[in-house]
Structure 1
Amino acid sequence: MTVESTAARKTTRGGGKRATAKKAAPAKKKAVAAAPAEAEQDQLVQLLTPEGERVEHPEYSIDLSDEELRGLYRDMVLTRRFDAEATTLQRQGELGLWASLLGQEAAQIGSGRALRDDDYVFPTYREHGVAWCRGVDPTNLLGMFRGVNNGGWDPNSNNFHLYTIVIGSQTLHATGYAMGVQKDGADSAVIAYFGDGASSQGDVAESFTFSAVYNAPVVFFCQNNQWAISEPTEKQTRVPLYQRARGYGFPGVRVDGNDVLACLAVTRAALERARSGEGPMLIEAFTYRMGAHTTSDDPTRYRRDEEREAWEAKDPILRLRTYLLNEGFADQAYFDSVEEESESLGKRVREVVRAMPDPDNMAIFENIYADGHALVDEERAQFAAYQASFVDAEEN
């Protein structure tokens, strides 16, 4: 799916009002804390409204050329096209599983384009847009989901770590790496991506503690897409997620995760802050997961269509497209060229995935012990005999 194939959406104004603080009323016996949805506009950094109108923010600003703005649009459209193709390939049996980023393109492209080449990224398993920004070939992301490798790229080539399936563990890896960067005296920064569900993990709490105590140059980028599989955010927290940083001693900020300009501006500022020795920062990108958690999930069982439709009106690609058109920064010919490029990308992804060779069945025994190991040798022999039994059966 690209923005060209997205149905016309209703426009709703999402950035005009902010929640005002009120004195706490005496607690009633069955009272509950206000859900994060009620505080959606609380301190929300926004530079581009859902209607495609440019607005200013007192703390975060950005000045981009026409070419850079068009580049952000292209990044989001091509990333969405790649993601849609991967979803289709899974449905056709070419991939075992896929985690879609549909709806989260602005959060990923905006933050990804804020990075310097020498910064280091620790992703989860959904950061396809960030991988695109780091120059990782999209087809390399699919090998793990096809079951032919454990990650098809060298992390050091693009300063983009391998996808992490264990929820939240990459935040600890990022913190440790950032502490190492600090000891080396480098001025680069580290960024760790995770979701709202991962924010409930102990690993994330530990990484917050260590990064704060050691003033590590790390940015924690939480994509709050409202749902941890089937569990809504209000079941995980009593306050907006960005406010958790305060308890650890470093700042947090909530940004409109469907606004690519705001995500770029806030992440760029947070990274620069980390590089200058001011320590960690938490960014909560308030966005929405338009599709399923993964292709094994059915969101219709726990999510209302009205909720999804309301967020469709805030589509990150549509709002930037509207802005580019209204300001004369791009014309229909440009949009058509991006659409053609996206179709070519989809075709290449299909061809590459279907041509991926099966892995060597015996490779799992390699690169474990430098000098070999008797038990591994025994297990290798047993597995080789087991594999050979299938050949014998076919011949007989």
Structure 2
Amino acid sequence: MAYLDNANSTRVDDRVIEAMLPYLREHYGTAGMELGHSRDVTAMRGLENARKILAQSINTEPLTIVFTSGQTESNNLAIRGAALANSDKGKHVITCATEVMSVLQTCKALEKEGFDVDVLDVDQYGLVDIAQLTKRIRSDTILVSIQHANGEIGTVQPIEEIAKITSQRGILFHTDATQSYLKIPIDTKTTPLDMITFDAHHIHGPKGIGALYIRKGTRLQRIMEGGDEERRLRPGVPDIPAAVGFGKAVEVWGGNEPAQLLALRKYLEQKLAGQLTELRSTGHPVKRLPNLYSMIVEQIEGESMLVQLDMEGFAVSTGSACSSKTLQGSHVLKAIGLPPEISHGSVRVSLSRFNTKQEIDAFVQALVPTVERLREFSPLRRGEYFAYESNSEDEHQDEKLDEV
């Protein structure tokens, strides 16, 4: 199978697996004490070496890196931890409509605790309006959380501009860089970011391990109780083999890899050009991730196409987020102004170092007849689209964050 869903997760690099194995078989200490027995000491050295590698990748010091279980935990710790620790200064938080659910739902939970959350709109490409952001800032604003790049449409936000604005006003700025990490350089010395979320499984590392960069001096309250691990912010024994794998994934990432991914994505775009009618790309045409191509194929349902392509041997994803309760599409596509009957035709292709031009050729050859066949039977082509709203109390649209 040609795996073209790397924005979802990536294949673990063999070099990463080899680096992890000794910490599963031999060095299985807990890294709890510097003066412990040899297995503890070896485990701790492995953990700290990984921390050092991650720190170097964003030009910071190892002390600023806290290991977590992944993107969701890092986002929760950053947003909730910062909000609670700085509530004496204010209770106003700003985020945007295209964030991942671990950001939006954490902000929604803060609203129930008395915080005021503003959700910024985005334009047709998914970009935040800097003027709108500046206008929404208040005297009691304590935190802004805007993702670096969107994992569904690929749009890259102007975090350098945002960081400058927040830094000048003494407001904390958190960015979720899970999708952009290593694909787009981040330098904490030149961009005043206070917190950065990233994880391993989007860069050919293992699942279940992530990290949060916390600028020195940033006030954060831990959100779990327990021991003093990870700067007393993330109690519990860290997953040392996974952390070592994370470090190795960063270490083996090639400096020219983003350029190679971009070349592969452009090749895909060229192969698709003129092949299908009523096909359009989503996301910003220039300010976007190098490895991600998101498109709308009108008059079909993305789920049907996903299943058909899977049967043909191609793994892609759809931006449509349907369930048995509702036919509402992706909140990201809704935020950029696409109606459900259009967003249901969303298809995302995301590439990695393991993909080839031959796979792209074969994918395009399979895609065209698949789309033509599905359009013959699609209710969307006949105008028979019905959007069903759930009456569930959990899905009422009267709260600000229920809109996203």
Fold shared per TM-score above 0.5: no
TM normalised by structure 1 equals: 0.33
Structure with the larger helix share: 1
Structure with the larger strand share: 2
